[in-house]
A and B are shown apart, each in its own frame.
Chain A
């Protein structure tokens, strides 16, 4: 009896769908938003809802068929797939494809488009989701900002820590240890500034400024052991353009790199990382025995901002005793290549090093020409990720815990608002066409959203974060002062 009722309901719902009558066959693939044509997705990703780019289309009918079985049929203002049905379809078609036949209604007439596919990768993406900061792409004011986490298998987004908890302050540079939800740091700026470390559920608030260092810690990266954090200390400024091509140039007046010993609560300094030149954007290698960082010759900023070109360098690091190697190796010479390289991030399996390359400067999101590049750490070969890059800025990027997927920021939609994209890296180092973070009714969401998705990072599991405690500790002002240890 129950089955009969179910069938009746399905039949009733189906009958609510309009028939695609006498469609004009278009020989082209549909222009959809987001552009999911030919992307590669992981099984279990949130439904890849999409709509027609042209607002004149009032109805879209989509039949999604798996190459290994399964079919979904949806119809509406946009392609709105049920989460469970979608998951089933993608799980059934791992290693295969899902083919989409789109018909769309405009001015009472249907057009049926040439089908397109989404590939379902063999590489799973089982991380829970991503964390990011939502912030308006403003200038000197943070506004209504917050750090959020998003389950990438559904559309659920949750606030982790917002400015509501710490009124008048700004939070930034949240960084997890290899997508761990248990090891996490963030900085708060403002009157109650400080660095919060969360390890195994315990929050510690630090004052990372000392008499011997020039500023608080900012761009940070965890050692895989969780015992160290390599960080830059910078005084960061902005300069603003008057024309209509660029808005902002970010520059440092001073910039050094140091390592924070978490267990000993000490800053480890090295003269080669504390020169009068600019050292910034450090990261640890996957095995924790080296530090990648970017360095630029000192120049008269902001006037000579075009002379700011960062080379990509490496120095060994001994995690057993917190000491640095004898020499600094230059991996990519900025002057020779006439480019600036920043944000080096190794994959956690040690195979790849992804970084940003742009004409000059150190803040890729403000450089339209900024692209993602990749270096094969096994042989040192480098190339631009042409299959991923766009005509606009690609910037902050991070690896999934299994190192097959990466998330990055891009301004390709409108040139101002930064959004999160995902792509897969194969064993041959080739990346797949990236896809925009799925949203329910994506056209409406991305059209109306007034926030950029800043610094996206994977998180293996859901982050448990006590915002009330963090807010209370932050506003309370008590900070553990970091000490100093000097080498060389």
Chain B
């Protein structure tokens, strides 16, 4: 086959060729470039194979789209599988779009959709709603408009306000009066839903969508631009059929747009956070350290992640202060009410054996998911902590849920508690106090001196608090229980700094001390003569 024949073949089979290209491109985009975005989506839901779960979804406006979206998202648990499933969804979207416009034009809304999903809180329900609306349009293309009396309300309920895409595509292809009548009827349906049925929601939610975005009452511009682009490109396809080089222009636009989408649609800082969470979740400690060596987030979230990775690889006492430390919260953060910030701290508590603290954070992180959905990742942690506590009835409630999922089922069937949770948990009962987190770590270590991580966190916390006296007092534990051949360099550096009151050149701990003092003075925090914070 020569080039000309190949070109002709591509032209005749452009839809298939572009669909395959779409699959490969989307798959690689998510699997290679942003697998952690998929992980984030997956951990904010728990898809259950139960009738109740289905009913719970479809009993809300846009519920079928939500259900289908959640069904796909569950596969993100395995990154390549999730990326492949998502790529298939994009291909489906493309194929449907290519039936309402030129195949080359159909790439543009797909790229816009990719751009839209740069916002990590956009739910797959939105794309599924678009797919449902387009599929309905194509299925009903040859049906008379009076059949929309049933289809329109059904589509509004099943797909949400994206049903307007169906309505507009249908209306513009009818005779004027039929089109206007359809549009008016749809407006009445939307109004009835908003003012009669959906009274538990603000009016805006009823009109603009309930389950399209994880943050309630959030409507990014692209949510409206995409369906508008579909309509305009559909019309343009009809009007500009014979314009030369149009396909090339459309292809070029899609390619340029995709680069632009990646550049501005995917907030690099935000995705760095997602990446770290993903690595923590998958216990890829060395990857966290490598990442931080190249570029470390200069905040408490980044510090907690890298410290956890260092501890799990036995490097914390050696290298802690070679990395950025945000301050006394660098080992464990106080709880912040969102579904992401405190996950590394939750995992830190888990690995330390602080059962109740891990469970509390996991519980509240799950309650912070604004869609109201359960999280497979958090439910698993909660179940395990309940089992470690001997709260078997409560554990069974959560295990029961996991047993109805696809990817958590096998763990739930075995329901094995990691031995370290029971071995390392506090032996006494007392009130937790985040303001004395150093003592919390110290008492944890005292509960089981084999808990080397607790020891390192205790000593690390005294250093973060600039508690020289405390550090020197308990440094002996490192020698007695740490199992180090010689004093770790990080501790040695700290000892030198303390002995020389911070005047040590090329000292990582001295650098921390100076920046800590500076920050404390800026904030007006009182530092006592031992340089500890109160």
A residues whose Cβ falls under 8 Å from a Cβ of B:
136, 138-144, 159, 161-165, 167-168, 239-247, 249, 302-303, 305, 413-417, 447-448, 450, 466-468, 471-472, 475
B216 at the interface (CB under 8 A from A): yes
Q: Are A144 and B372 in contact (CB under 8 A)?
A: yes
Interface residues of B in 369-428 (CB under 8 A from A): 369-370, 372, 374, 388-391, 393-394, 396-397, 400-401, 425-426, 428
Q: Are B401 and A467 in contact (CB under 8 A)?
A: no
CB distance from B408 to the nearest CB of A (A): 15
**B74 interface residue (CB < 8 Å to A):** no
Q: With contacts A138-B363, A143-B372, A414-B393 known, is A247 near B356, CB below 8 A?
A: yes
**A305–B367 contact, CB under 8 A?**
no
Contact A159 B200 (CB under 8 A): yes
- A142, A244, A247, A450: the one contacting B397 at CB < 8 Å is A450
Cross-chain contact of B432 among A167, A240, A413 (Cβ < 8 A): A240
Q: Which residues of B contact A141 (CB under 8 A)?
A: 337, 363-364, 367-368
Interface of A is mostly: loop
> Which residues of the other chain, B, contact A450 by a CB distance below 8 angstroms?
374, 397, 401
Q: Is the CB of B52 within 8 A of A138?
A: no
Q: Provide the residues of chain B in CB contact with A302, threshold 8 Å.
A: 431
Q: Which residues of A contact B367 (CB under 8 A)?
A: 136, 138, 141-144
Task: Please provide the 3 A-B residue pairs with the shortest distance between their CB atoms, ordered closest to farther.
Answer: A243-B429, A143-B367, A144-B372
Known: A141-B337, A447-B396, A448-B401. A239 touches B364 (CB 8 A): no
Query: With contacts A141-B368, A249-B431 known, is A413 near B393, CB below 8 A?
Result: yes
- The reply to whether B431 and A475 contact each other, CB–CB distance below 8 Å, is no
Q: Which of B200, B205, B393 contacts A162 (CB 8 A)?
A: B200
Docked Cα-Cα span, A413 to B391, in Å, equals: 12
Q: How many inter-chain contacts with C-beta < 8 Å in the A-B complex?
A: 123
- Separation of A258 and B434 alpha carbons in the complex (Å): 33
With A139-B364, A242-B354 known to touch, is A168 a contact of B216 (CB < 8 Å)?
A: yes
Contacts of B374 in A (CB 8 A): 450
Contact residues, B304-337 vs A (CB, 8 A): 335, 337
User: How far does the alpha carbon of A302 sit from the alpha carbon of B388 in the complex, in Å?
Assistant: 26
**Known contacts A141-B364, A167-B216, A244-B389; A475/B202 CB under 8 A:** yes
Distance in angstroms from B294 CB to nearest chain A CB is 35
**Of the residues B199, B354, B355, B393, contact of A466 by C-beta under 8 Å:** B199
In the bound complex, residues from chain A placing their C-beta under 8 Å from that of B394 are 414-417
Q: Please name 8 pairs of A and B residues whose Cβ atoms are closer than 8 Å in the assembled complex, sorted by A.
A: A136-B363, A139-B364, A141-B363, A165-B202, A242-B426, A242-B428, A414-B394, A475-B202
| Contact pattern, B 172-209, Cβ under 8 Å of A = 1, otherwise 0 | 00000000000000000000000000011111010000
Residues of B within 8 A of A448 (CB): 52, 397, 400-401
Which of B201, B397, B433 touches A414 (beta carbons < 8 Å)?
Answer: B397
Within 8 A of A (CB), among B193-233: 199-203, 205, 210, 216-217
Minimum distance in angstroms from B426 CB to a CB of chain A = 4
Near A by CB (< 8 A), chain B positions 340-356 give 354-356
Q: A139-B364, A140-B335 are in contact. List 4 more A-B contacts (CB 8 A).
A: A138-B367, A144-B372, A240-B356, A244-B389
Of B52, B335, B429, which contacts A241 at CB under 8 A? B429
Alpha-carbon distance A245/B360, docked complex (angstroms): 14
Question: B429's contact among A163, A245, A447, A475, by CB below 8 Å, is which?
Answer: A245
Query: How many angstroms from the CA of A154 to the CA of B203 in the assembled complex?
Result: 31
In this assembly, does B357 line the interface, its C-beta being within 8 Å of a C-beta of chain A?
yes
Q: How far is the CA of A201 from the CA of B369 in the complex (A)?
A: 34
The answer to whether A467 touches B199 (Cβ under 8 A) is yes
Asked if B430 lies at the interface with its beta carbon under 8 angstroms from chain A, I say: yes
- B residues contacting the other copy or chain, number (CB 8 A): 45
Q: Is the Cβ of B390 less than 8 Å from the Cβ of A244?
A: yes
Shortest CB-to-CB span from A238 to chain B, Å, is: 10
B44 at the interface (CB under 8 A from A): no
| Chain B residues with CB below 8 A from A138, complex form | 363-364, 367
B303 in the interface, Cβ–Cβ < 8 Å? no
A447 to B395 Cα, complex, angstroms: 11
| Residue B366 is within 8 A (CB to CB) of chain A in the complex | yes
B358 to chain A, nearest CB (A): 11
Whether B355 contacts A240 by the Cβ 8 Å rule is no
Q: Which residues of A contact B429 (CB under 8 A)?
A: 241-246
A249: chain B residues within 8 A (beta carbon): 431
Tell me how far the C-beta of B218 lies from the nearest C-beta in chain A, rounded to whole angstroms. Answer: 9
- Give the contacting residue for A472; candidates B202, B370, B388; CB below 8 A: B202
Complex: how many Å from CA A416 to CA B200?
28
Residue with the highest number of chain A CB atoms closer than 10 Å, among B202, B210, B354, B432: B202
A137 shortest CB reach to chain B, Å: 8
Whether A244 pairs with B364 at a CB distance below 8 angstroms is: no
Among residues of A, the one whose C-beta sits closest to the C-beta of B389 is A244
A415 to B356, Cβ gap below 8 A? Answer: no
A163 to B217, CA, bound (A): 12
Cβ contact within 8 Å between A240 and B431: yes
Report if A139-B360 is in contact (Cβ < 8 Å); known contacts: A242-B354, A447-B397. Answer: yes
Chain B residues lying within 8 Å of A414, measured Cβ to Cβ, are: 391, 393-394, 397
- Select from chain A the residue with minimum beta-carbon distance to B447: A242
- The residue of chain A having its C-beta at the shortest distance from the C-beta of B430 within the complex is A242
**Cα distance, A240 to B216, chains bound together (Å):** 30
Instruction: Determine the chain A residues whose CB is within 8 A of the CB of B199 once the complex forms.
Output: 466-468
Q: Are B366 and A143 within 8 A (Cβ)?
A: yes
Residue among A136, A141, A303, A448 with most chain B CB within 10 A: A141
Interface residue from A239, A417, A471 paired with B431 (Cβ < 8 Å): A239
- Closest chain B residue to A475, Cβ basis: B202
User: Which residues of chain B are within 8 angstroms of A416 by Cβ–Cβ distance?
Assistant: 391, 394
- What residues on B are CB-neighbors of A305 within 8 Å? 431
Chain A residue with Cβ nearest B339: A141
A110 CB to nearest chain B CB (Å): 27
Q: How far is the CA of A413 from the CA of B335 in the complex (A)?
A: 29
- Residues of chain B within 8 A of A247, CB atoms compared: 356, 360
- With known contacts A143-B368, A162-B200, A415-B394, A244–B355 Cβ distance under 8 A: yes
| Least CB distance, B398 to chain A, in whole angstroms | 8
Contacts of B396 in A (CB 8 A): 447
Measured CA separation A167–B368 after assembly (Å): 12
**CB closest residue in chain A, given B444:** A242
Q: Which residue, A167, A244, A447, has most C-beta atoms of chain B within 10 A?
A: A244
A413 to B393, CA, bound (A): 8
| B 53-86 contacts with A by CB, 8 A | none
Query: How far is A416 from B433 in the complex, measured between Cα atoms in Å?
Result: 22
Contact A415 B202 (CB under 8 A): no
Cβ B200 vs Cβ A243 within 8 A? no
A414 to B398, CA, bound (A): 12
Least CB distance from A109 to B in Å reads 26
Complex formed: what's the CA distance from A488 to B432 in Å? 41
Q: Report which residue of A161, A241, A242 has the largest number of chain B beta carbons within 10 angstroms of its beta carbon.
A: A242
B residues near A162, Cβ cutoff 8 Å: 200
By beta carbon, the residue of chain A nearest B195 is A468
CB nearest to A444 among chain B residues: B52
Contact call B366/A243, Cβ cutoff below 8 A: no
Q: How far is the CB of A457 from chain B (nearest CB, A)?
A: 20
| Distance in angstroms between the alpha carbons of A164 and B174 in the assembled complex | 38
CB-based contact B431/A165 at 8 Å: no
Contact between chains at A471 and B202 (CB < 8 Å): yes
**Across-interface contacts of B355 in A (CB, < 8 A):** 244
Per a CB cutoff under 8 Å, which of B201, B205, B337, B357 touches A140? Answer: B337
Closest chain-A Cβ to B140's Cβ sits at a distance in Å of 31
In the complex, what distance in Å separates the CA atom of A417 from the CA atom of B431?
22
Residues of B within 8 A of A246 (CB): 429
A residues less than 8 Å from B357 (CB atoms): 240, 242
- With a CB–CB cut-off of 8 A, which chain A residues contact B431? 239-242, 249, 302-303, 305
Q: Which residues of B contact A139 (CB under 8 A)?
A: 360, 363-364
Minimum Cβ distance to chain B for residue A140 (Å): 5
B194 to chain A: closest residue by CB: A468
Known: A241-B356, A246-B429, A471-B202. A164 touches B337 (CB 8 A): no
Residues of B within 8 A of A168 (CB): 216, 370
Within 8 Å by CB of B426, from A163, A243, A303, A415, lies: A243
